[in-house]
Every structure is written in C-alpha cells, then in structure tokens.
Structure 1
Amino acid sequence: MKTVTVTGPGTTAVVEADKPQAGPRDVLVRMRACGICGSDALYIHVGGIPPRQGATPLGHEPAGEVAEVGAEVDGLAVGDHVVINPMAAGDGIIGSGGAQGGLSEFVVIRDAVVGTHLITVPKHIPFEVVALNEPMAVATHGVNRAAPQPGDKAVVFGAGPIGLGAAIALKLRGVAHVVVVDIVPDRLAKALRVGADAVINSAEEDVAARLTELHGEAPKGVGVRGIKPATDIYLDAAGAPVVIETVLAAAKHGARLSIVAVHKKPVEVDFGAILTTELTITMAMGYPTEIFEVTPGLVANWEKYAEIVSDVIPYAEVQRALTLATAGKVVVSIP
C-alpha cells in the first residue's frame, strides 16, 4: 500500500509499505479521507518525531471504511463508515509519531473496541466532513474548558477551523450569542454561515466597543473601572498576543477565558491589573474525552461543519495538499 511519510527535515514522500494484516481482535480500515493539520507542517519541518525521526507516517485526522473485522470484534461490519481515535492506537498516536499514519491506504486498529478506538457514522455524511471529527474534538475541548451555560454570551477570536468549530459547539451548548473575531473578510463570512450571531473585523473595529454594543454593558464590579462588555466567555483560537491584551482589558468580573490556540511567543500578563476581575483563565490541549463526544453533533449538523473544509485534494496530489494546509482546512480524499 501507499503511505505518506516524512523522509527528512522539510521533505516528505509517498512510499510503498506493507499492507497491515488484521488479527482476530483487530479491524482493518481503508482510509477514505484525512485532514491536514498545522502540526503536520511542524513534523515535516523538524524531520519527523522520535523514535521515527526521518520516517514519521503523517495524518492524524482520519476517516475510513471498515475493510476487515476480526472474529473477536463486536459491533462492526465490513463496509461501515468510521472515525478513528488516533490517540488510542496501541502502536502510538496515529500520524503523530506512531507506527501508522492516516495518510495511508490502510490502517489497522489493534484490539479494537467500538467507542474507544473507533465509532461508526452514517454513510450519508461525506468522508471529508467525517475527517473533521478530530479537530472538532479539539475545538470542543476548548469550549468545555470555558464551562458554557445556556444564555451565556461568547466571543471567539480566530475564524480558522478550530475557531469555527468552537463557534458551532458554543451554539450547540445553548450559548445565546456568539461573536467571531478575525481580520479576513472571507473567514468572517464563513463564520456567519456556520451559525455565528455576529462577526467583528478587528482590523477595522474596536473589539471591546463592538462587544459592548452586541452584548451590553456589564454591571460595575468592585475595583473594575470603565465600561466592560457583558461577555461571559472569551475563546482564543488565534494565538496572537493582541488577543490576550484585548481580553484582559475588556473582561468583566467573573468572565472566563479559554485558550486553545498555540502561542509561539511568551505573552506578558499583568495579574495585578486583572486581580479584581477574578477572570478565570484555562488552557485547552487536545481532547481528553471529546473525541467521540463531538461525533453526534457533527453528524446532526454536518452541513454546517462542511463549510469549514476549504479544499478537498485527491490522494495523487497529497504533496500539494501539504503545502496548502496553512491557507484553510485541507482534506485529502483517498480512493
């Protein structure tokens, strides 16, 4: 079979590999789609992940079709469409340093248990949407860390795939009003299509002032000076220092900030200045429980989630797909 592998710093190749064999407790999955993540660019740049430095299989956002089911595996049949938990693989994280990658023609799931390693999805959902399950689990974990309550008002910074997924998840959790902030008009238009109640172009508008117009003015708190928007949740999916600066200056008493973005440089925080706000700051990494929690919402709202996909690239052009990943949400279609 074919698989995409890091071959050295800055280089990848489609290589021939042995097709994995399924034992009685295993499931062989024919890959049908796999998303490209920004972390894939990092793996390529550094030349792979130990212990497979220089030979790291890529692809950790997989969706596929069951090709073989071991005799001791329950709850699956050949032809089922499935999404895989790449973190649960017994031979390492799929596509992130493990022995297998989702940008392959086949992946074998050892000791497969439905609900732990993989889960079925309806066959009418396009595979490129099913492949969003993993990044949308990341977005949902960021939302969960913010502890949204019905009726809350929220703002998401960054209208990339994670930010858009967070906006959808917030609405599904009953948040009353969700604003998305970005500087790219096309991304803001997409945010409205996935269900955001309003958008702000931060290159053209004062974010705090506009949030106050949209969410109202927060009650004055002890030691809190000036007008603050009544925004309950701030979610950072952008990773720019100015986002943190904006939130710290705007946050009302008792607001929550969830940071799911990767900040590549240190951000200075004056804790003395925000002490009286009692702002809750949480970090969100990966998806400890969300990998299949997100699936029912993805299935029920797949047309909204489909808006997140910017490009579907055939497997024959996978090298081009890897170069496009920073421009949007690229999914590789695998025949």
Structure 2
Amino acid sequence: MATMKSVHAAKDKVDVVDVERPVPGPKDALVRIRACGICGTDTFFLHLGGMPSGADGATRAIPLGHEPAGEIVEVGAEVSGLAVGNRVVANPQGALTGIIGCGGELGGIDEYLLIQNAEVGRSVAVFPDDMPFDVASLNEPMAVARHAVNRSEAQPTDKVVVFGAGPIGLGATIWLKLRGVEHVTVVDVIAERLETALAVGADAVVDSATEDLTGRLKELHGEAANALGQPRAGTDVYIDAAGVPAVFDAVIANAKWHAKLVMVAVQKKGEVDLGGMLRSELTLIASQGYPTEIFEVTAELVEHRERFARLISHRVPFSEVGRAFQLALTPGAAEKVVVTFDEASHR
C-alpha cells in the first residue's frame, strides 16, 4: 500500500501523519500538490483542535488545506480534457466527500490530492506551465475576494473603502481596480500591509490606529450626508475584510445615505447600531465563498500574476509545515503563508 504525508488539525498545532495515497477511479484524477496556501479557516480548526462532530462538543481530526495547486500524475480512463503533466487548481467545494480541507475526507496540504469526478470548469481548472505554483494557489482566496466585489456591484465612478489588508482585502482591492473603480482606499493598523496595499494598486491607505479615519475619508472621498442630512463621508461602498466590531462601528458612523457595506470577513461577536444603519439607509450585503467565481478568476490571476504574487509574504517548505502554521497563528507575523512542495517532498 502506497502512503503519503497528510497535515491534520490538532490543538493549536498540526500533526503530519501517514495515510493511504488515493487511487483514482475511472472518473478521477490524482494531483501531486506543489503549493497550498494557509487560510484563517485552517487556523480556526487548529484553535478548536479539529472539526466539531457532535452535540457534546467533541472534535475530530481533519486534513487541512483548501488552497492547493499541483500537477496531474494520473488520469482515469473516462476523464476528458485533462492529461498527466497538466498544472491545475481545484475547486474545494467540488469534492464528493466534503469540502476539501474544511471537514471533508481530503486535504490540500497533502502530498497528493484526489480530484473526484474530475471535470474541467467544475472540479478543476488548468493553468499554464509558466505560472508559478505558489501564485496559482491563490486561486481560491481570490475567488472569495472576487465574489465580494461582485456582490458590491461597485461602479467605475464609486469611491470604495476596504477594511483589512490581509489576502482577501488586498485581493478585493486588485479586483476593484481591474474593474475600473475610480478610487479605492484600504484601512488597516499594520504599516507593512498598507505598503502592500499601495503596491497592488490602492489609491490611498489609512492607518486607523494613528489617523483620524473620518477626517481622512472626507478628505479622500468628499463630504455627503445621511438620510437626516447629517454630515458623512462621500464613500459609496465599504468592504469588511477584517471581521472586527470596530469596522461596523466605523462604517455606521461614516455612512452616507444609501451607502453599502459588504461583509466578507468571518465576524467576531459584537453589537450593531441598527439605529445608525437606519439613519443612513445603509445596505448590508453578506458575501460567502464563491458560488460562481472559483474558476472565473483563474485566467486573470494568470494574466496579473506579478501583482497577485505581492500578496504572498512567506513561502515555507512542506518539511517545515509546523513553522508555517505558527506564522499563520501569530497575529501580525505574516500576510499570506504558502506551503511549498519540491520534488524531494514526494516519495
């Protein structure tokens, strides 16, 4: 029986275990993983010690990683449009045995990944041979960011604020600028992330820990009013990619009449000033995952690869996967961590 290394969630750390290497059926393909990003969802499972599995609060270990990129090493007899050697990204939600890396039987930070019912455009997409695997692994989070921008329906004349200069916020910034949006401001409290925001195309940045946010937004986006005529910033769309209660407070305090707030970050508990929302007739839009965007983004990710590559702060070899997760678990230590596999990583 051939085995492979698989990364599983444990309490505040990862376990690297030997598991049986998948054998593809006639409709499947087997991918040798070459890179996989670490997401906030992965660290959430580490804090829990795995996946909650019952009313008693017990957890079960699960394989991690839902941002994989790799190359096909086996193709089932009934699979069309794919060949050994193709470089591919996977749709984590396309697996038959549960979402890859999020409670399903398969994980993207494994040496090999089974693509069940391999179908181009549904469960897998091919990218060019000259596209780096680490940048290709951004496909899934950039689909999340793209969905948030699509949900915002931002127009070229709009003025937009993105809260949070992590991978999703920065990805949204890139998509907004590629969409032709006139002015995009990124707000964060970490100087290095704000520098990255400017590097990927933000028109302005605000350090909300040291600057007057309201004053800066009025300076950047002009002045407007809410439904009661009270002065507000002229921002049209806010995107929350930070997930902290202070973002909702800031948006409600600054929202003009008919402004929109797109919520893409996983939210911490907090109270929302509904009366403040009423006074601006603020529209709250939730953005979850990527219902249609998972491969909508692939060609543009390839085209603008150098821009997206700036989102990766750390590339850590699979042999040091524990260190990769410690970086991801440490607030402010890293922006985007990608685990990389070389030839020696596969047995």
Partner residue, 1:181: 187
Partner residue, 2:46: 44
Segments of 5+ residues of structure 1 without an aligned counterpart are none
Distance 1:56 1:202, change over 3 A: same
Provide the C-alpha distance between the structure 1 equivalents of 2:310 and 2:323, rounded to a whole number of angstroms: 21
Counterpart of 1:93 in structure 2: which amino acid? I
Q: CA RMSD in A?
A: 1.6
The partner residue of 1:306 within 290, 304, 309 is 309
Counterpart of 2:285 in structure 1: which amino acid? T
Provide the C-alpha distance between the structure 2 equivalents of 1:171 and 1:93, rounded to a whole number of angstroms: 31
Write the mapping of 1:1-335 to structure 2, written as runs, cut at 5 A.
1-6=4-9, 8-49=10-51, 53-218=59-224, 220=225, 222-226=227-231, 228-269=232-273, 271-326=274-329, 327=333, 328-335=335-342
Identity rate, percent: 55
Provide the C-alpha distance between the structure 2 equivalents of 1:161 and 1:311, rounded to a whole number of angstroms: 12
1:129-180 CA-partner distances (Å, limit 9, x unpaired): 1111111111112212211112211010111111101101111112111010
Q: Secondary structure at the match of 1:316?
A: helix
* 8 A Cα contact 2:14 2:325, kept in partner: no
Provide the C-alpha distance between the structure 2 equivalents of 1:293 and 1:306, rounded to a whole number of angstroms: 18
* 8 A Cα contact 2:13 2:322, kept in partner: no
Of residues 140-149 and 127-136 in structure 1, the stretch that sits farther from structure 2 once superposed is 140-149
* 8 A Cα contact 1:9 1:54, kept in partner: no
* 8 A Cα contact 2:227 2:281, kept in partner: no
* 8 A Cα contact 1:224 1:276, kept in partner: no
TM-score by length of 1: 0.95
Q: CA deviation at 1:274?
A: 3.2
Provide the C-alpha distance between the structure 1 equivalents of 2:246 and 2:47, rounded to a whole number of angstroms: 27
Distance 1:274 1:264, change over 3 A: closer
Partner residue, 2:345: none
Counterpart of 1:195 in structure 2: which amino acid? G
Provide the C-alpha distance between the structure 1 equivalents of 2:261 and 2:341, rounded to a whole number of angstroms: 38
TM-score by length of 2: 0.91
Distance 1:173 1:320, change over 3 A: same
1:7-56 CA-partner distances (Å, limit 9, x unpaired): x4334221111111112111111100001111112212222125594331
* 8 A Cα contact 1:253 1:279, kept in partner: yes
1:99-135 CA-partner distances (Å, limit 9, x unpaired): 1111111111121111000101112221111111111
Point out 4+ residue stretches in structure 1 off by more than 6 angstroms: none
Provide the C-alpha distance between the structure 2 equivalents of 1:146 and 1:9, rounded to a whole number of angstroms: 37
Q: Secondary structure at the match of 2:223?
A: coil
Q: Secondary structure at the match of 1:21?
A: coil
1:214-241 CA-partner distances (Å, limit 9, x unpaired): 12222x4651212x22211101111222
Counterpart of 2:20 in structure 1: which amino acid? D
Provide the C-alpha distance between the structure 2 equivalents of 1:44 and 1:272, rounded to a whole number of angstroms: 37
Distance 1:78 1:157, change over 3 A: same
Provide the C-alpha distance between the structure 2 equivalents of 1:273 and 1:178, rounded to a whole number of angstroms: 24
Segments of 5+ residues of structure 2 without an aligned counterpart are 343-347
* 8 A Cα contact 2:239 2:261, kept in partner: yes
Provide the C-alpha distance between the structure 2 equivalents of 1:273 and 1:95, rounded to a whole number of angstroms: 39
Provide the C-alpha distance between the structure 2 equivalents of 1:285 and 1:221, rounded to a whole number of angstroms: 28
Provide the C-alpha distance between the structure 1 equivalents of 2:280 and 2:175, rounded to a whole number of angstroms: 26
1:70-90 CA-partner distances (Å, limit 9, x unpaired): 121111111111110011101
Q: Secondary structure at the match of 2:313?
A: strand
Provide the C-alpha distance between the structure 1 equivalents of 2:327 and 2:11, rounded to a whole number of angstroms: 18
Provide the C-alpha distance between the structure 2 equivalents of 1:30 and 1:36, rounded to a whole number of angstroms: 18
* 8 A Cα contact 1:50 1:97, kept in partner: no
